[in-house]
């Protein structure tokens, strides 16, 4: 039996990178998936590629009204409440503290932190109707430790870690689980930014597995957390970093 049979999921930032792989894996495992992204054209192209089981909706994760619209349209499209949310959308701005602007910090907060809060808040009523739910918040190893130039990013990802714990404690009574995933260096467009590429190449040498992760290696973990295989896991941090922070 497929691991995500009868699951209705919303995945944010799903038009490319990790989010796109999450969407593909979810549908392969039997889920109905809303591919949500600010880039509707790319999201629709992915939905067309995947075919049956996926729809595309435009979502600016910083807008509460847009969140409400996406949840309602997902329920309508699939004829059932939402029982999985993957808060994957994120931005990464890496600059020395003296060069980091207020605009940089606000953008990072709004997408990486506020977006996760709004997603969890908006989807809970649907999950209560379903009688079960799994929220998977994509944080980072920088949500457990930090690094030079990662102040804005790390601040928001630490907040995601904290929100995950608080939401898990609050929502467990409704059979809603909340966990966070903490990737290390993954082969994504964000990691390929020219200003961070050289730094990441240096970091690779200190990773016990001596390589970056394939996107699918993160998606496999996300599938696990969305499925009933992880039915007694909530409020936990799941690290997928090749041992990068194992000695910290």
Residue 206: the pLDDT is 79
Residue 190: the pLDDT is 59
Residue 197 has pLDDT above 70, yes or no: no
| pLDDT tens-place string over residues 84-108 | 999 999 999 999 999 999 999 999 9
For 243-247, what is the mean pLDDT? 81
Residue 195: the pLDDT is 62
Residue 191 has pLDDT above 60, yes or no: no
Residue 202 has pLDDT above 90, yes or no: no
For 141-159, what is the mean pLDDT? 94
Residue 204: the pLDDT is 77
Q: Which of 153, 199, 224, 232 is catalytic?
A: 153
Residue 194: the pLDDT is 62
Residue 126 has pLDDT above 70, yes or no: yes
> Could you tell me the pLDDT band of residue 203, with boundaries at 50, 70 and 90?
confident
For 15-43, what is the mean pLDDT? 97
**DSSP assignment of the chain, as one string?**
--TTTT-EEEESSTTSHHHHHHHHHHHHTT-EEEEEES-HHHHHHHHHHH-TTEEEEE--TT-HHHHHHHHHHHHHHHTS---EEEE---------TTT--HHHHHHHIIIIIIHHHHHHHHHHHHHHHHT-EEEEEE--GGGTS--TT-HHHHHHHHHHHHHHHHHHHHHGGGTEEEEEEEE-SBSSTTTT-HHHHHHHHHHHTTSTT-SPBPHHHHHHHHHHHHSGGGTT--S-EEEESTTTTTT-
Residue 44 has pLDDT above 60, yes or no: yes
Average pLDDT, the chain: 93
CATH 3.40.50.720 fits 8-240, yes or no: yes
Domain segments of the chain as ranges: 8-240
> Could you tell me the pLDDT band of residue 56, with boundaries at 50, 70 and 90?
very high
Residue 196: the pLDDT is 63
Question: Can 153 be counted among the known catalytic residues?
Answer: yes
């Amino acid at each position: 039996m497929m691991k995500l049979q009868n699951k209705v999921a919303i995945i944010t930032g799903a038009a490319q990178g990790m989010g796109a792989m999450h969407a593909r894996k979810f549908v392969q495992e039997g889920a109905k998936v809303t591919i949500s992204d600010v880039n509707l054209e790319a999201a629709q192209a992915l939905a067309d590629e995947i075919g049956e089981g996926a729809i595309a909706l435009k979502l600016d994760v910083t807008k509460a009204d847009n969140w409400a619209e996406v949840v309602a349209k997902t329920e309508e499209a699939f004829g059932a409440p939402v029982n999985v949310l993957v808060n994957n959308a994120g931005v990464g701005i890496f600059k020395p503290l003296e060069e980091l602007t207020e605009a940089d910090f606000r953008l990072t907060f709004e997408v990486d932190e506020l977006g996760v809060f709004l997603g969890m808040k908006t989807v809970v009523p649907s999950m209560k109707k379903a009688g079960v739910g799994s929220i998977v918040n994509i944080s980072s190893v920088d949500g457990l430790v930090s690094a030079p130039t990662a102040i804005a990013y790390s601040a928001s990802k630490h907040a995601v870690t904290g929100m995950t714990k608080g939401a898990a404690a609050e929502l467990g009574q409704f059979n809603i689980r909340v966990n966070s995933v903490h990737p290390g260096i993954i082969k994504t467009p964000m990691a390929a930014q020219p200003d961070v590429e050289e730094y990441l190449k240096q970091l690779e040498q200190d990773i016990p597995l001596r390589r970056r992760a394939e996107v699918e290696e993160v998606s496999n973990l996300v599938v696990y957390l969305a499925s009933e295989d992880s039915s007694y896991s909530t409020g936990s941090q799941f690290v997928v970093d090749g041992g990068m922070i194992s000695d910290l």
